[in-house]
Each structure stands twice: as C-alpha cells, then as structure tokens.
Amino acid sequence: QVQVVESGGGLVQPGGSLRLSCAASGSIRSINSMGWYRQPPGKEREMVAFTGSAGSTDYADSVKGRFTISRDNAKNTVYLQMNSLKPEDTAVYYCNAVMQTVVVPTFTTYWGRGTQVTVSS
C-alpha cells in the first residue's frame, strides 16, 4: 500500500517559520514530481510549490522569496520551509507525489491527507 503523509503543521505567529515534511512510502518504483498545495478556509486548493524529477522548482507568486521546497530522493521525502509567514498563509497544506508503484505501473498522482498551518497572533 502506498502512502503520502504530511507532518510539521501547527500554530505560528506572523513573521515566524515552519517546516513541513512529506514522506511517500510503500511499493514505490519511481517518483516523478512532488509538490505542495494548500486550501485556505472557504477557498479552492492552490499550488504552492513544485519540484520535478530533475530538481526543477516552481512557486506560487504569493510565496516566492519566503518558501523553499527541497527534496531528499533517498528518503522519498519533500520539504517545505516556510519563512516570514503571514495570516493569509493559513490553510490546510497538502502534499502530492506523481509515482509509479508495483501495483500501478503508470505515473499516478497520490495525495496526502493534509496538515493544518495557522498563522495568528
């Protein structure tokens, strides 16, 4: 069974930092891209940061210069370092991974269940 599990969310004051982690596990053959998305209260899910298999990265304009995505291929893990957090960054943060698995050999997107990030004083 393949799992994608996020961790590291919590409550932080404006201007603070958090580091999210996302680990993929199970019968994985290969991982293409991994990314972070978020869904603020009452709004639709949006892309936050993305990293491709060759190390390319992309960010939403709203987080450029504040958030950094990184990836440890040996651990099938992606991180999101979030600095200078703002109240508008409050959301449930979801991780996804586009993977080939033993059971599903075509590249398929797998999602985690999300972790809450709240930025408030």
DSSP 14: T
- Read off the pLDDT band of 66 (50, 70, 90): very high
- Read off the pLDDT band of 54 (50, 70, 90): confident
Q: What is the reported pLDDT for 55?
A: 86
Q: What is the reported pLDDT for 85?
A: 98
The number of helices, as runs of H, and strands, as runs of E, in the chain is 0, 11
Can you tell me the mean pLDDT for 95-119?
96
Residue 7 contacts residue 20 (beta carbons within 8 Å): yes
